[in-house]
Structures are given as C-alpha cells and as structure tokens.
Structure 1
C-alpha cells in the first residue's frame, strides 16, 4: 500500500463519504491501483492536516464540507471556475510545495440534472437552499445554462446576500419564498447530513419539476420525501453529481477520463446490498 499513488477526501464529517469506492472504480477502469482515504480534519487544523498529507506523498485531494472556502484560501493558484466560485473541491499538487485549486461541483451537478434527470436548466426558475462552499461551486455552472433566474435562501440571510451580490442573483429570506413558482429546487444545506430539513413552506414546491439534494443516500431521504409530499414531480439525490465531479477530479490528477455511467450503476447497486 505504501507505494501506491495516494489520494484523499478531507471533511468534517467525512466517515459517510463514498469517494473511496468511486475512485477505486475509476482506477479499475484505468487498470491501476491507488490508495484513497477519508481524512477527518478539525476546523482549526485543516491547513496543517492537508499539508502533512502532501508532505507524506499525497498526489491529489478532494475537499468537502466545511473546508471548501478554506481550501480556496490555502492553495497557491486557482482555476478560472474555482476563482469565480470562491470555493475549491479539488487540490492538485504542482511541485515545489505549490498547489492548484479547482472546483468540479458545478460540472457534476449540471451534468446530473440535465443528463440523468432529463430536466433542462435553461429558462427554469431555480431555488437554491444554502449558501456554503458547495453552493458557491455550483452557481456559476448553473448560470452558464441560462436559467430564467436563480434565487438563494439560507438560514443566515447575510450569507445568502453575499452570494447574491457575488453572482448577480436574488436572495430571499426562507420565510418569504414565493409559492408555486420554482421549477428546480436544490438543497445545498449541510443540515441533511444531520437529518435536518430546511425551514421552508411545503407550498414552495407546488410547481417544482425537480427537487434535488446535493447529498446522497440516506442523508437525502428526509428532504426528498418532504419535497415529494409537497408536490415535487421528480426528486433526485446527489449521487450522480458526486460521481461526475469525482471523475473530473480524477482526470485532473491522472489525465484519465473515467466513464461515469457504470460507476453510478455500481454505486446504486452497492447502496442496496
């Protein structure tokens, strides 16, 4: 194991992450062996922990909640999409102790909504719940699809307003969202990881074509059930997004482009077993 190329995902919490299984499937496609670990970091130790990982030979890292904005500050240079997003989910070592940050979240989300869910983003009215690093990463890619508009709502209104100004979109308080209005509703809050639902009225889902939770599996079940009961025509968790953004990261690290379709199928079957 010591001689294998080493990669890892950094987060808190991180024990639930399916990234190791996904990247091992990519490695099988490439016909190589890799080591991919989950690494728990505390809020005040992220910089030291990720630096130690790379000092010990790490060759690439994924970043998840709550460190995407901190990773944005930590890296030495940024891809254009990471710079626009203000968040980093992929770190690539450049040599000489320097690192490049990228963000593949938006590509993964749009790919899943349009291709897997079959819902066009163009001319749709989109509501995003949450204003953390994950949301920062997806707004630019959603805007590139030319929606009719994007509204962001968050428990801490100041964070929603900050993103609204940054991206030129609308921010509204959770209790002032219009009813029977939004076509696509995306849950980007971290509350799903703890089973918490966003504090929004069921009537907000009245004309919803797709309710999408950016987390996956059991963590998404509460929000998606609430959305269906409230009138959403279709629901989806973030597994497809996870696999698609991971494939982009893998390609950035290794120059190999994985086929995501069989990996999504494998992960869905693995969830059942």
Structure 2
C-alpha cells in the first residue's frame, strides 16, 4: 500500500508522482506515491479506503478539490478561504487535515520569477495600486485569489469570465468574507476598462481547446507580467499572444505546479525540498 497518492480524473498525465520522487530522493525519504483514478461516484470510498489501509498523505486534483474539502476533519485557514482542498495529511490521531497549497505555490513561483519584490509589490509597476486581471472563475482561480489578496501590497483583483455569473459568484463570496479589493467585469466590457494591469493571469482551460481568452491587446504592455496556469511543451497559446502584444515577462504554470507540490511535501514531512532542479528537470523532459 502506498503511503502517498494523488486522486484525480484524468490522472495519467499527472506529474505528481515524479515530482514527489525527486523531492523524496533529495531529502532521503523512501515512500511510494501512486496515481489513483477516481470517479464522482467512488471518490469518497477510494479516499477513505486509502487512509484506512495506511495512507499518510494525498494530493487532490481536478475535479475533486471541492469534494475533498467536505471530507476532512480539520482545515487550514487557506483551505477554508479557498473552499477547496488539494492536500490531505493524516494526523497522528487518525483525523484528516485538509490544506490548499495552490495559492502559496503560485505566490512562491511569482517570487522565484522575481515578479514580487521584498515589499510584496509587483516589480517595475508604475502605480501605487497593483491591478491584477484574473481570467477565469473556476477551481484554479479559487485557489489563488486569497493568497494574492493577502500577499500583494495594495492590490485589486478584477475577475472576468466567459460566464459572467460565475465571476459574480466568486467575487461575492470573497467580498462576503471580508475582501473589499476584488471586483468583476463582463468580458466584453474589458475594451472600455481604463485600469493598467501589472499582472494578468489566465486561469481558464482555453489551451485545452486551442483558444485564448478574448481580452483586448491594449491591456498588455512591455512591463505587464502575464502568467498562464497551464503549461505545454512550447509556449501556451496565451503566452504566445502576450509576447506578440509586447509583454517581456511571461511564464506558464510549471513552476507553480512544482511549488505547490513542495508545500504539500512540507506539510507531510516538515521538510522543504529544493524546487529549481525539479522545475528544470520537468522542463527538459517536456522536450524529449
């Protein structure tokens, strides 16, 4: 029986076991980590059985992060704010602690890229307020919003989504729990938006469908940081579009993937692994 696993659907493409193995080798830990394909009908049973049979920790990926939230006995503050769980640790008393490392993984990658300075400002921005455009209002967006609002000094997040009602729902939730520096806008109204965005984040699944979010090119300038939570062998379509429209600062989500896994590893083992060699290894492997 594996001590650690990741649950998701689909799951074959997951890099989690490879990342864990690289972290474990560095730290000197020998624990098996496996991929578990789950369905909505059996996710609860598979997760419960995994821990019953000796599992110590689990990662949860799409589409089960919100389900996992309700299956934990205890929750970290960041998972409560995200209302989703991507990491579970079995405590010594047998109860399950749920955490969400997506947001802290994203912030950690922005720092790795030197896009955040020591005062928690986006680097090279001209205005005193950091305007952030978040494209997408699904699970990926939910995981990163609270950490952005808690970390970036004097920031304001504007959410746009193909379905405006979802953007409104997500915005209302964060406003209700005390965040006033977040708003939303119908996608078509972006053409009239006069905000200058320091950071634009693509949290949609548009790359899967070979499309890009329909945002005005005028929002991008040479200093605009453009981040795609998705990653591919070459530049994602979104990054290609951002570069074409002048951005000198673009990154895909591979770094975030490794960073959030490192924070999961820390939760389980109380040891923080080195991320750069793992990011470089995975990046190189994409081209093989």
Same fold (TM over 0.5): yes
Residue 284 of structure 2 corresponds to residue 269 of structure 1: yes
More helix by share: 1
The number of equivalent residue pairs is: 270
1:177-216 map, 5 Å: 177=190, 178=193, 181-206=196-221, 209-216=224-231
Checking the alignment, whether the CA contact within 8 Å between 1:184 and 1:208 is kept in structure 2 is no
How far apart are 1:103 and its partner, in Å? 1.0
1:171 to 162, 165, 184: 184
Instruction: Give me the whole-angstrom Cα distance separating, in 1, the residues matched to 2:42 and 2:161.
Output: 27
How far apart are 1:247 and its partner, in Å? 0.8
Checking the alignment, whether the CA contact within 8 Å between 2:88 and 2:98 is kept in structure 1 is yes
Instruction: Give me the whole-angstrom Cα distance separating, in 2, the residues matched to 1:129 and 1:204.
Output: 13
Checking the alignment, whether the CA contact within 8 Å between 2:3 and 2:55 is kept in structure 1 is yes
Instruction: Give me the whole-angstrom Cα distance separating, in 2, the residues matched to 1:262 and 1:255.
Output: 20
Q: Which residue of 2 aligns with 1:10?
A: 7
Tell me, which stretches of 5 or more residues in structure 1 are unaligned? none
Q: Which residue of 1 aligns with 2:109?
A: 112
Instruction: Give me the whole-angstrom Cα distance separating, in 2, the residues matched to 1:74 and 1:21.
Output: 26
Instruction: Give me the whole-angstrom Cα distance separating, in 1, the residues matched to 2:143 and 2:42.
Output: 23
Alignment partner of 1:126: what SS?
Answer: strand
1:229 to 244, 262, 265: 244
Under a length normalisation based on structure 2, what TM-score does the superposition of the two structures give? 0.85
User: C-alpha offsets along residues 154-198 of structure 1, whole Å, 9 cap, x if unaligned?
Assistant: 222222112212223111112212267322111112333443422
Residue 148 of structure 2 corresponds to residue 142 of structure 1: yes
Q: Which residue of 2 aligns with 1:62?
A: 59
Instruction: Give me the whole-angstrom Cα distance separating, in 1, the residues matched to 2:98 and 2:248.
Output: 37
Instruction: Give me the whole-angstrom Cα distance separating, in 2, the residues matched to 1:236 and 1:272.
Output: 17
Instruction: Give me the whole-angstrom Cα distance separating, in 1, the residues matched to 2:211 and 2:31.
Output: 35
How far apart are 1:119 and its partner, in Å? 4.3
User: C-alpha offsets along residues 203-235 of structure 1, whole Å, 9 cap, x if unaligned?
Assistant: 333466111111222496122112222332221
